[in-house]
């Protein structure tokens, strides 16, 4: 991860900030895959903007509705890699990552382990993060773009 040093910011941030920001980025997808909507919502700002294939979603309540609408018969895994964090100050950062998407729908309850030919897509995601008043980092803007749409 590319980190702004303590000296550059007058001691306000250190390498731990980049690790925490990376954990927020990855944690969003872990929550998404685990249907942990409360955790996912806690990682975004109240006025978050999420630009995704299904359109742009604005605000935490709109994100809640998208998350609640996901079918429980669909299993997804988002493998997040190449996380590159750029800290721009004590309260602003950007993170870029690539996400390999695996998904499979079932007729009824999912049966695991599931057979799967391969991933369904590769995304590049750009997140803008801010430090909350409580001191934690949250995603203020998430923009996902499909790089490869893999057809079975």
Pairing of strands 44-52, 137-149: parallel
What are the beta bridge partners of residue 99?
80, 123
pLDDT above 90 as % of the chain: 71
| CATH, residue 81 | 3.10.450.50
Asked if residue 2 belongs to a domain, the reply is no
Asked if residue 101 belongs to a domain, the reply is yes
| Domain count for the chain | 1
Mean pLDDT on 107-128: 93
Asked if residue 7 belongs to a domain, the reply is no
Lowest model confidence (mean pLDDT) among 10-14, 57-61, 68-72, 108-112: 10-14
Report the mean per-residue pLDDT for the chain: 89
pLDDT tens-digit map of 67-115: 999 999 999 999 999 999 998 888 999 999 999 999 999 999 898 898 9
Asked if residue 6 belongs to a domain, the reply is no
Domain hosting 125: range is 15-107+119-149
Q: Hey, is 7 helix, strand or coil?
A: coil
């Amino acid at each position: 991860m590319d980190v702004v040093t303590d000296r550059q910011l007058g001691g306000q941030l250190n390498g731990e900030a980049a690790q925490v920001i990376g954990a927020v980025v990855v944690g969003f997808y872990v929550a998404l895959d685990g249907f942990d909507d409360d955790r996912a919502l806690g990682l975004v700002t109240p006025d978050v903007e999420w630009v995704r294939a299904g359109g742009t979603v604005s605000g935490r309540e709109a994100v809640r509705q998208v998350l609640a609408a996901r079918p429980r018969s669909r299993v997804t895994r988002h493998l997040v890699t190449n996380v590159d964090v750029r800290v721009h100050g004590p309260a602003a950062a950007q993170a870029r990552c690539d996400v390999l998407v695996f998904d499979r729908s079932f007729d009824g309850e999912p049966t695991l382990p599931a057979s799967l030919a391969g991933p369904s897509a590769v995304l590049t995601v750009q997140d803008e993060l801010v430090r909350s008043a409580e001191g934690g980092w949250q995603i203020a803007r998430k923009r996902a773009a499909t790089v490869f749409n893999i057809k079975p």
